[in-house]
Amino acid sequence: MNPYKKLATTLDNRMSGHAAAAVAGMPAELGTMTAGGLKLDRFKHEIADYYVADWMAKVHLPAFTLGGTVTGLTSGSAAVTGQGTFAFSKSEVEDVRLELRHGLKPGDRVLAIPINDGNDAVILCKVVK
């Protein structure tokens, strides 16, 4: 057998083993929301009492227009109603809280980090294709 081929095979096997060990140490995994909680793909029990990450963000809104109905306005003492187009300027909104928990439904796929030896989990985000 070619000694270089044997060396290459040995290195490949060892590198594959190291890569698998590194990936196995990564805690994040996929799960599915159920009616009773969270079912992680690699954990056989459903987690009923899970945590959900809350995110604070700065939202950047582009300039846009939106059509709608105007009601409840007055001009002098007369009521103003009707259709209108509203133009919004580009803006930024600081400290917007993204509350993921209320948007999760049974069947949703999520990315979670198991904690407390897999007895609990923190859901980081919903995952879509």
Computed over every residue of the chain, the mean pLDDT equals 83
What token pair was written down for 127? 């995952």
Write the pLDDT tens digit of every residue in 57-108. Answer: 999 999 999 999 988 888 888 888 889 898 999 999 999 998 899 899 999 9
Write the pLDDT tens digit of every residue in 27-37. Answer: 789 999 999 99
Whether the pLDDT of residue 111 is over 90: the answer is yes
Q: Is 43 helix (H, G, I), strand (E, B) or coil?
A: coil
- Give the Cα separation of 59 and 19 in Å (integer): 38
pLDDT at 35: 94
| Rounded mean pLDDT, 100-126 | 90
Indicate yes or no: pTM above 0.85.
no
Length of the chain: 129
Sorted by sequence, the CB contacts under 8 Å of residue 44 that are 6+ apart come out as: none
What token pair was written down for 129? 């294709």
